[in-house]
């Protein structure tokens, strides 16, 4: 993104200072606030030679509108955007163990932020989202992701079905989650180049997205619910960490 934007909240601002300080232009902190984490953020920003201003609550409210800011916001200029043409390099760099998350039309920024957080925690290679009919990475997504939006490649693609076919040409197996599928996610080998494909809230996977998956799988649910009834961020976490389990990542 070339444009500047505001990010809000303690976790979001702290993560931006930690992971991408070069793109933080200034930090605004609520005057008179006693929260020690705000004091820590102020100290870190000053140490990094980033402008810090103490302002009143009304000024913070005016900057971020209705977004909850917890007494701190930062003016942020993210210069790195991931192009779909870079997918080949991302997959190649994973050396046969690429793990991608494809989100087909997630509309809620809180859900997208939570998915990004799970993907980053699982060490995913990248997250793909379509440019249309999907929320993009905005201030709310950044806040909810607690820094993950800045630490994992998020690739916004013009044509999701075409991007999926391109991944298949790169040797990536695409597994779509669908409640009516016969195969369980736990019966699938997720140790190689894999993309997990999840649909948006309510409608699940779109027809073309389904058709471009190599196989449809489900999360077994003894309660009898279909996968669409699971929150997409919960389903993302379950499937991503099944891949992590299969890959034998040692606990630290």
Q: Which domains does the chain have, with CATH numbers?
A: 4-77 (3.30.1330.30), 84-246 (3.40.1280.10)
List strands edge to edge, sheet with 51-55. Answer: 4-8, 72-77, 24-30, 51-55
CA–CA separation, 196 vs 44, rounded Å?
A: 37
The pLDDT assigned to 229 comes to: 66
Question: What region does 96 belong to: left with phi over 0, alpha with psi -120 to 50, or beta?
Answer: left
Say what the pTM is: 0.74
CA–CA separation, 237 vs 113, rounded Å?
A: 12
User: Does 10 appear as a known binding residue?
Assistant: no
Question: Tokens 């793109």 label which residue?
Answer: 23
What are 47's two structure tokens? 């140490």
User: Does 230 appear as a known binding residue?
Assistant: yes
End-to-end CA gap in the chain: 35
CA–CA separation, 40 vs 44, rounded Å?
A: 6
What are 134's two structure tokens? 């999907």
User: Does 7 appear as a known binding residue?
Assistant: no
Question: Tokens 């103490």 label which residue?
Answer: 54
CA–CA separation, 172 vs 195, rounded Å?
A: 7
CA–CA separation, 109 vs 106, rounded Å?
A: 8
Of the candidates 68, 49, 67, 124, the one whose C-alpha atom is nearest the C-alpha of residue 91 is 124
The pLDDT assigned to 38 comes to: 95
Residues of the chain with pLDDT under 70: 1-4, 78-80, 139, 223-229, 249-252
The pLDDT assigned to 2 comes to: 37
The pLDDT assigned to 251 comes to: 42
Of the candidates 20, 1, 10, 16, the one whose C-alpha atom is nearest the C-alpha of residue 147 is 16
The DSSP 8-state label assigned to residue 197 in this structure reads: E
| Residue range 47-85, pLDDT digits in tens | 999 999 999 998 998 888 777 899 999 987 754 678 888
Q: Are 177 and 230 in contact (CB under 8 A)?
A: no
Number of C-beta neighbours around residue 20 at 10 A: 18
The pLDDT assigned to 252 comes to: 39
Q: Are 104 and 200 in contact (CB under 8 A)?
A: yes
With b for 16 or more beta-carbon neighbours within 10 A and e for fewer, the 53-67 pattern comes to eeeeeeebeebbeeb
């Amino acid at each position: 993104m070339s444009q500047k934007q505001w990010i809000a909240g303690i976790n979001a601002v702290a993560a931006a200072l930690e992971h991408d300080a070069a793109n933080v232009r200034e930090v605004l902190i609520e005057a008179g606030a006693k929260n020690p984490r705000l004091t820590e953020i102020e100290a870190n920003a000053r140490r990094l030679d980033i402008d810090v201003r103490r302002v009143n609550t009304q000024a913070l409210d005016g900057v971020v509108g209705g977004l909850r800011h917890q007494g701190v916001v930062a003016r942020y200029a993210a210069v790195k955007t991931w192009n779909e043409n870079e997918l080949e390099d991302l997959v190649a760099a994973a050396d046969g163990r690429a793990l991608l998350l494809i989100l087909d039309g997630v509309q809620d920024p809180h859900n997208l932020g939570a998915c990004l957080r799970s993907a980053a925690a699982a060490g995913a290679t990248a997250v793909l989202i379509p440019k249309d009919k999907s929320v993009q990475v905005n201030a709310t997504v950044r806040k909810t992701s607690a820094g993950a939006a800045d630490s994992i490649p998020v690739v916004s693609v013009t044509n999701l079905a075409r991007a999926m076919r391109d991944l298949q040409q790169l040797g990536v197996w695409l597994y779509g989650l669908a409640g009516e599928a016969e195969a369980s996610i736990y019966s699938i080998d997720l140790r190689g180049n894999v993309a997990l494909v999840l649909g948006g809230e309510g409608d699940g996977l779109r027809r073309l997205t389904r058709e471009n998956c190599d196989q449809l799988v489900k999360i077994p649910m003894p309660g009898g619910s279909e996968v669409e009834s699971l929150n997409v961020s919960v389903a993302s976490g379950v499937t991503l960490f099944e891949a992590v389990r299969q890959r034998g990542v040692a606990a630290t």
